[in-house]
Structures are given as C-alpha cells and as structure tokens.
Amino acid sequence: MKRLILATRNAHKVTELHSILTAAGLDVELVGADAYPEIPDVKETGVTFAQNALLKAHTLAKATGLPAVADDSGLCVNVLGGAPGIFSARWAGRHGDDQANLDLLLAQLGDIADPHRAAHFACAAALALPDGTERVVEGRLEGTLRHARSGTGGFGYDPILQPLGETRTCAELTPDEKNAISHRGKAFRGLVPAVRELVG
C-alpha cells in the first residue's frame, strides 16, 4: 500500500480526504503531518491559495520522500475585491482567532445591502511528488453573507456564509451535508485522478 501524507495536523481533514480516496477505490495509507513531528510547519508566503498549497506539499514531499497533499482555503468577498482571501485565518491580526475575524468582517460589511453580499469559499488542493511533479485543483462554494452569525457547527466563517440555494448557513449544515458541497471537498475530489495517476 502506498503512503500519502497530508500537510495538516487536523485529524478531521485527514478523515475527510481518506473517505474521498476510499470512495474512489484508491488503496492508499493516508497520514497527517503529525506522523512526522520533526518537520516544522511551513510558512505560507504565497500570494494565492494555489501557491500556498504547493509550497506546503512540496516541502513535505521533499522532507519525507513521500507523495504529499496540501490545501489552502479562505473566504473571498466580492465587495471587498476578494478579501480576506489568503488572509482569512488572520484577518483580524492574530492567526486562527475565528471570533475576532468574524467580528471584524461583519463590522466592515455592516452597511452593505443583501444584493451586494455575495462571497465564496475557495480551496486549492495540491499534490506534489518528491521528484517535483505537481498537480493543483481548485474548488469553490458560492454563497451570500448573513448580517449575523447563525449555527454552531463548522469553524471559521461558516456561521455567516449561506450557500446558494440554501436557507441555512454552513454552520447549520450537518458535517455530511457540508462535505458534499464544500470547497475543500470539491478540491480534494478533483485531485483524485491525479492521485490515481501519480501515486497508484
């Protein structure tokens, strides 16, 4: 069985990608970056989701000698010209402070009327081999932004993004419902043919 490493220490992401690969009939052993604690986290210095995903995947592939998958994602708000984008996780200044990021974004959009609150979640998923071979696939989840939080599921900006065709926010969907339409799910599923071709 081929081993594939996913550039995350988030067990939920490992489970999500593993179920996608299994459903596609791929017999690979998937491990997270915590299986290699000696490898430091990669600084995301790219200016696009794809650049950041490739940076992480190539670093892990080179360090471990294994095929590596990485992703980078965020929220892109039309009226803000695509921001917060790659800065989504640190929009309020401190990385990973979901509460502060949400508060700041809601304040910035306070006067914006419903017809102009279009936004989407974007994700780039990258596969890199130790020899430098690479593939990138991008996925999107289109929606509109609520004026206030709703729902307790998910994380990040899930409580304010209402997917197109839905009456609930991402934070009100069940994990299975969200995975079926999510930007990350789409990107990971789109990467399956590359994994089949390059990893086997």
The domain locations on the chain are 2-198
Rounded distance, CA 26 to CA 35, Å?
21
Q: Of the residues 72, 97, 98, 114, which is catalytic?
A: 72
**Cis peptide preceding 84, ω within 30 of 0:** yes
Residue 175: its pLDDT value, please?
Answer: 86
Q: What is the pLDDT of residues 34-61, one digit of tens each?
A: 999 999 889 899 999 999 999 999 999 9
Rounded distance, CA 112 to CA 121, Å?
19
Residue 41: its pLDDT value, please?
Answer: 86
Token pair recorded at residue 47: 């200016």
HSE, side-chain direction, 13 A CA sphere, residue 86: 13
Residue 1: its pLDDT value, please?
Answer: 65
Rounded distance, CA 57 to CA 54, Å?
5
Residues tagged in the binding site annotation for substrate = 8-13, 73, 155-158, 178, 183-184
Active site residue 72: yes
> Is residue 82 within 8 Å of residue 49, measured between CB atoms?
no
Give the DSSP letter of residue 38: T
Residues tagged in the binding site annotation = 8-13, 72-73, 155-158, 178, 183-184
Rounded to two decimals, what is the model's pTM?
0.93
- The parts of the chain modelled with pLDDT lower than 70 are 1
CATH number among 3.30.465.10, 3.40.309.10, 3.40.190.10, 3.90.950.10, domain 2-198: 3.90.950.10
Rounded distance, CA 87 to CA 27, Å?
35
Residue 85: its pLDDT value, please?
Answer: 98
Residue 46: its pLDDT value, please?
Answer: 96
